[in-house]
Amino acid sequence: MTAPRPRQYPTSGWVLNVSLKPNTTTVSSGNGSQDKGRCGFNSPFLGGWIVFCTFCGATGWILSALHQLNLTGYLVAFAIGLAALVIWWKSSGAQFCPAPCSKFRRRFRRFFPMSFLFLALLAILGGVIYPPNNYDALAYRVPRMLNWLAEGQWNWVHTIFHRLNTRACGVEWVSLPFIVFTNTDRWLFLINAVCYLMMPSVVFTVLRGLGVRMRAAWVWMWILPTGYCYLLQAGSIGNDLFGALLPLMALHFAFRAVRSRSMGDVALAILGAALTTSAKTSNLPLVLPVGLALLPCLRMMLRKPIALVCVLAISALVSFLPTAYFNLKYCGDWTGAKAENLTVGGGDVVVHSANNVVLLVLQNFCPPIFPMADKWNQAVNDHMPVALRERLKKTFTESGAYEWSMTVLQWEVTAGIGTGVSVLLLTGFFSRKKNRKTEPILNSYRLLVFGGLMLAFFVYLAEMGLSGVGRLAAPYYPFIAAACLLSGRQCSAVRKKWWQMLAGATFLLALLVLVINPPRPLWPANTILARVPQDKVKGPVKMAKETYQANSERSRAFAPILAALPPDIQTVGLVTFDDPETSLWRPFGSRKILHVLSTDTGEVLRQRGIKYIVVDPTIFDQRFQRPLDQWLGEVNGKLLATVPLQLKWSMGWHDWPIVELNDGSR
């Protein structure tokens, strides 16, 4: 009688496989034992993604240095890149081996993969249906790219809104070819869609590399991506999902390199770590665990100094280092916090970390729909000790961080990992262990990597001073989950019927969040809310109606302004701070938007080619510190028109002046 075949937990193949030499090498643990097995799974798509992101980052900086950041420059660069790919392909003998359709169907008949695939398709469908409307992207990530294209190079933008200058450029360099070749930002969501589809496989291999048992790793590879901060950005042009995948990829290839002793895997791990820093500045601490994971390969790397130097040089180019250099040059602070008037770290580290832990708990366990958010905020305001509030105020920049503010809806601008995944991780600790088979597989190497991960997370807690700590912690959640899954109780829980039913409820909760997501609702929100009688449009109904309406119009928020301007105007001035100005650039390439500061004289404005200026009235009152009529006299301008705009539901309606400069200075 033959022994039963062990149950397999497939992790890849449903996207793309390449036939390469299998590897069955071993890596010694710190206690003298050996951990045998293949180098994870064949992951050409993951390696290809890192190479593509590296190519885009290096190309962007090189073309900027040559003042050729334009369509011609990108055509030449991609032609060279394609030729290099063909040469490598022929010399390596690699072959595409797509997974059979039967294997695909068999895999996604199972509940967990099928649920993930269903949510992924719905999230991507939202990106197909709706134009990009992520506020941060429309306010500074897309405009900074359009500024670079207008100048033919990366440039320090003349502005008071320094996120255009100081923020890391990783996702921008990957997005820029899409804008150059299509002349629109309509398809930028595909970057996040690809990242989301790759996430389960990378989560699985990293969990396994950190010692989590096979069954628990397989189940959680499908559950963890349903976290709201990942799922809601699968159809978005936000950059949190993009930044969360790269450290996972870096660790994935670091674990492979330890087993394979391949310089190619080492190079991909180092490049992944460099891209991690360029994606989000808050990811910088995650370079430490990747470096610790590569320590067993140190001797092998030193034996190939030329290859190592080349990899490190390319990594430096595509990392945060170029942005840090320009931040130091233009504002005297490599982080850019000085230009943005942000607080990074400082104060009592214990208080800082403890408050961020409180925010993480609140933002991750808050229900997807929390009607009592206003009552909670009022209660905190009434009962928080004054001494504590003042102490937190000195440490944190944004009011939400020291007021512990909650929101009615969990959506992509606020959401962390979410209620479902958080509760599921918590309840796993109440399961009863059955046997030793549920114990994690730990050794000194894995403990070292875990130590680096925990230290990186502590640095994040000690330094983060913004209110959105739950969303910005997206790259750290997989490693927190891995630490939880090292418990034998968690590994036993995935076999329990009650836990699997709770996991099903987690998928349903994620579906609810996805359907009601204001930027891309998967129900006819505006149509239904428009039919509500006017006498009933108040309270929550009014808030929902205005929220969905504002999000649906955000991609063309400045369309009324454009209608009031002359159609052939090529340069428009803008008094702004954190406004979704991308709308003013449409169609891309037709005009250039230049920011206007309170110190700009009429002569300077005319020298820059500005004749018409759009004025944000709120920012004008805050920054210019003088009446509009007085400023008009100083620059010899006149009021052409006022246009009412509502850019955010919370901001309400405001009349935006349009100013026309008279010919010649006064």
Q: Give the list of residues 6+ apart from residue 225 with CB closer than 8 angstroms, or none.
A: 116, 120, 196, 199, 200, 203, 231
Does some domain include residue 301? Answer: yes
Does some domain include residue 276? Answer: yes
Q: Give the list of residues 6+ apart from residue 552 with CB closer than 8 angstroms, or none.
A: 130, 133, 526
**CB–CB of 395/346 below 8 Å?**
yes
Higher pLDDT, 247 or 15: 247
Label the pairing between strands 95-96 and 592-595: unpaired
Query: What is the residue type of 306?
Result: I
Which residue, of 340, 368, 384, is where some domain finishes? 340
Residues 203/207/212/215 CA torsion (nearest 10 deg): 20
Tell me what pLDDT residue 26 has: 39
Does some domain include residue 544? Answer: no
Bridge partner residues of 595 (DSSP): 574
Residues 315/316/317/319 CA torsion (nearest 10 deg): 80
Q: Take residue 289 and report the two structure tokens written for it.
A: 């665990």
Does some domain include residue 422? Answer: no
Higher pLDDT, 216 or 466: 216
Number of domains present in the structure of the chain: 2
What is the per-residue DSSP string for 578-646? S--THHHHTTTTS-EEEE--TT--HHHHHHTT--EEEE-HHHHHHHT-S-HHHHHHHHTEEEEEEEEE-
- CA distance to 41, 144, 357, 409, per residue, from 363 (Å): 35, 30, 10, 11
Domain that holds residue 656: 557-661
Confidence of residue 36 (pLDDT cuts 50, 70, 90): very low
Does some domain include residue 23? Answer: no
Give 140-198 as a 3 state SS string: HHHHHHHHHHHHCCCCCCCCCCCHHHHCCCHHHHHHHHHHHHHCCCCCCHHHHHHHHHH
**CB–CB of 388/199 below 8 Å?**
no
Has residue 41 got a pLDDT over 60?
no
Higher pLDDT, 301 or 14: 301
DSSP state of 98: P
Has residue 224 got a pLDDT over 90?
yes
CA-to-CA distance for 408 and 400, rounded, in angstroms? 14
Q: Take residue 336 and report the two structure tokens written for it.
A: 């850019």
Q: Take residue 37 and report the two structure tokens written for it.
A: 């097995």
Q: What is the pLDDT of residues 117-148, one digit of tens each?
A: 999 999 999 999 999 999 999 999 999 999 99
Q: What is the pLDDT of residues 85-96, one digit of tens each?
A: 889 888 876 666
Which residue, of 340, 374, 400, is where some domain finishes? 340
Has residue 37 got a pLDDT over 60?
no
Q: What is the pLDDT of residues 46-97, one digit of tens each?
A: 999 999 999 999 999 999 999 999 999 999 999 999 999 889 888 876 666 6
CATH number of the domain where residue 601 is located: 3.40.190
**CB–CB of 177/78 below 8 Å?**
yes
Bridge partner residues of 637 (DSSP): 661
Q: What is the pLDDT of residues 490-506, one digit of tens each?
A: 888 888 999 999 999 99
Does some domain include residue 220? Answer: yes
**CB–CB of 12/104 below 8 Å?**
no
Does some domain include residue 150? Answer: yes
Does some domain include residue 547? Answer: no
Which residue, of 306, 321, 340, is where some domain finishes? 340
What is the per-residue DSSP string for 263-284? HHHHHHHHHHHHHHHHH-GGGG
**CB–CB of 607/646 below 8 Å?**
no
Q: What is the pLDDT of residues 609-660, one digit of tens each?
A: 999 999 999 999 999 989 999 999 999 999 999 999 888 776 778 899 999 9
